[in-house]
Chains A and B, each alone.
Chain A
Amino acid sequence: MEKEKKKTLTHILKDEIPEIISFMEENKLREMEIEEDGKKVRIRRNYFHHEKKKEETKGENKLSVVPVNSQLVGIFRLDSTDESIVPIKEGDEVIEGQTLCFIESMGLLHHVKSPARGFVVEILASDGDVVEYGQPIINIQI
């Protein structure tokens, strides 16, 4: 960071943002504050799902992503005719036991429920996709 101190804050922001971001990524920093001449800038990084997944496997992060796998062979459905169930979208907060989606199999719609409280970080299948047994369909961050 020696080098950065010599530059103006504007300079840093303009030219070196990519470098700062990669520095943050490498060191797994979610937030960084740079202060110079009474001016302060705080950079906060969006936490991406794929990084979390990587970290999860390394066991270095307390946040974990749980994949929800299909237990059936059928068609993936986000929506149903039941209007009391609002289809989920990425970023939604869900509670344990909440219906996340449906698998249509042999003409029946089976509810897929959230294993825990958390956030929907990624919906891995598209509405109408054929899914097989064990296929990850939704990632929940808990």
Chain B
Amino acid sequence: MFNKILIANRGEIALRVIRACKELDIPVVAIYSTVDRDSIHVKLADESVCVGPAHVSESYLNIPHIISAAILSGCDALHPGYGFLAESAEFAEICESHDLTFIGPSAPVIRLMGDKVKAKEAMKKAKIPVLDGTGIIKKEDEAVYFARESGYPILIKAVAGGGGKGIRVVKNEEELKRGIEHAASEAKASFGDGRLYLEKYIQDARHIEFQILADRYGNVVHLGERDCSVQRRNQKLVEESPSQAVSRALRNRMGESAVRGCQAVGYNSVGTVEFLLDRETGDFYFMEMNTRIQVEHPVTEMVTGIDLVKEQIKIAAGNKIGYKQDEIQIRGHAIECRINAEDPGNNFSPCLGVVNGLHIPGGNGIRVDTHIYDGCEISPYYDSLLGKIITWGENRDEAIKRMKRSLDEFWVGGIKTNVPFHKKIINNAFFLQGEIHTRFVETQLFLELKLSS
């Protein structure tokens, strides 16, 4: 096992990794920017190192400073969390060249799956269904030709995109031509890579992803699915497991595909295979793979009882997975609501300020993963995620009831949050029926909001 781990992240995920390390008796080193000096992850870590000023490029993305901090504090491994450097193959390579174990998959796998076109090709080769699409678009004509053949709407996607970013839907040729131009410059600015590809768009599909656990000896298991169909602007809001749309037979088929895909590329850490599930036909298609621990991982932890971060660390240390696919049981139902510091009444604009009073929900079946505390400051430099409320129940109904009361119990002063919006989702008739899809928020929910106002 590792002697000491540096956590190259902040916020709730830094805290999540600290918790796992404490349970594994591994000392941790936190890094922080000058504005995060009073953060809870800094206080709870065994050691901490300031790596730069507030701006992420100079602190949480500052590779020389992070590597120096890890080496000088005597770490032999580094946990990247999610976001920041978590899916940088280059960073994983730099870690390894400094004798630091990168707690994640090996660099070539990150690189392969980070290129969305190559990832699709690899999955196609492993006989996993993928959506019809183009390779990298070199000429506008290619795009127009593909769109005419397959019919609108069409998705324009960035090769380097992911996590819901770098995607746009176009409904006709005019939008396509304009969209390609905009998307290329947007992708160049966000990911440093302006390459695009097109994909067939499935209206009102479900976003179903499979949690994977793979060790360095070729053992791969899946821990069931998460339904992340409730999204706003391609950003997940509510996640649950199991999905109402996935029967036992479908779970086996999709899970088996996800495992096969991971085996084909030599995947060796925790990861997530994302699929689109066509509600009409029941067909599913590989979308992308996330080579990191995800925000919504607690949902799977709640229904399987497996601590994914601890598993991830153990696998990186060279441990074998200690169980087989048929030993994994999905028990009950779990739901997660992402609590963001944003004002739903003002077009979800981020809310900054100082937390003045805080009450965290509790009781049976409730888990809250958050880094905020009374008196802490929400700064404009980082994302607006304040934390996650995860509820577990014997069945979906109980999990929903617990989520309802948790949202009522949650109280934070000084800043606005999206809790009122979550209450609308969780009380929506379609949601209660399990009738959700990727445009649920835009269609059903806003329809309801319009009707009620």
Q: Which residues of the other chain, A, contact B67 by a CB distance below 8 angstroms?
A: 106
B53 & A74 in contact (Cβ 8 Å cutoff) = no
Q: Is B384 an interface residue (CB 8 A)?
A: no
Q: Which residues of the other chain, A, contact B53 by a CB distance below 8 angstroms?
A: 133-134
Q: Is A13 an interface residue (CB 8 A)?
A: no
Q: Is A126 an interface residue (CB 8 A)?
A: no
Scoring A73, A74, A130, A135 by chain B CB atoms within 10 A of each residue's CB, the highest score goes to A73
B68 & A106 in contact (Cβ 8 Å cutoff) = yes
A89-142: which have CB < 8 Å to B?
105-106, 130, 132-135
Q: How far is the CA of A104 from the CA of B59 in the complex (A)?
A: 18
B68 & A72 in contact (Cβ 8 Å cutoff) = yes
Q: How far is the CA of A134 from the CA of B50 in the complex (A)?
A: 7
Q: Which residues of the other chain, A, contact B66 by a CB distance below 8 angstroms?
A: 73
A74 & B72 in contact (Cβ 8 Å cutoff) = yes
Interface size class of A (residues with CB under 8 A): 10 to 19
B64 & A132 in contact (Cβ 8 Å cutoff) = no
Residue on B nearest A135 in the bound complex, by CB: B50
Q: How far is the CA of A135 from the CA of B32 in the complex (A)?
A: 13
Interface residues of A (CB under 8 A from B): 72-75, 105-106, 130, 132-135
- Mostly, the A contact residues are loop
Scoring B49, B52, B68, B72 by chain A CB atoms within 10 A of each residue's CB, the highest score goes to B68
A133 & B50 in contact (Cβ 8 Å cutoff) = yes
A73 & B34 in contact (Cβ 8 Å cutoff) = no
Q: Which of B34, B72, B73 contacts A133 (CB 8 A)?
A: B34
Q: How far is the CA of A95 from the CA of B34 in the complex (A)?
A: 29
Q: Is B297 an interface residue (CB 8 A)?
A: no
Q: How far, in Å, is A136 (CB) from chain B's closest CB?
A: 12
- Beyond contacts A73-B66, A75-B72: 17 other A-B pairs, Cβ-Cβ < 8 A, are A72-B64, A72-B68, A73-B51, A73-B65, A73-B72, A74-B72, A106-B68, A130-B73, A132-B49, A132-B51, A133-B49, A133-B50, A133-B51, A133-B59, A133-B65, A134-B34, A134-B53
Q: A73-B69, A132-B69, A133-B34 are in contact. Are A106 and B64 (CB under 8 A)?
A: yes
Q: How far, in Å, is A117 (CB) from chain B's closest CB?
A: 27
B56-108: which have CB < 8 Å to A?
59, 64-69, 72-73
Q: Mark B441-453, 1 if CB is under 8 A from A, else 0.
A: 0000000000000
Q: How far is the CA of A132 from the CA of B65 in the complex (A)?
A: 9
B303-337: which have CB < 8 Å to A?
none
Q: Which residues of the other chain, B, contact A105 by a CB distance below 8 angstroms?
A: 64-65, 68
Q: Which residues of the other chain, B, contact A106 by a CB distance below 8 angstroms?
A: 64, 67-68
Q: How far, in Å, is B30 (CB) from chain A's closest CB?
A: 11
Q: How far is the CA of A106 from the CA of B69 in the complex (A)?
A: 10
Q: How far is the CA of A23 from the CA of B387 in the complex (A)?
A: 56
Q: How far is the CA of A132 from the CA of B49 in the complex (A)?
A: 6
Q: How far is the CA of A73 from the CA of B48 in the complex (A)?
A: 12
B185-205: which have CB < 8 Å to A?
none
Q: How far is the CA of A135 from the CA of B52 in the complex (A)?
A: 10
Q: How far is the CA of A74 from the CA of B67 in the complex (A)?
A: 10
Q: How far, in Å, is B49 (CB) from chain A's closest CB?
A: 5
Q: How far, in Å, is A107 (CB) from chain B's closest CB?
A: 10
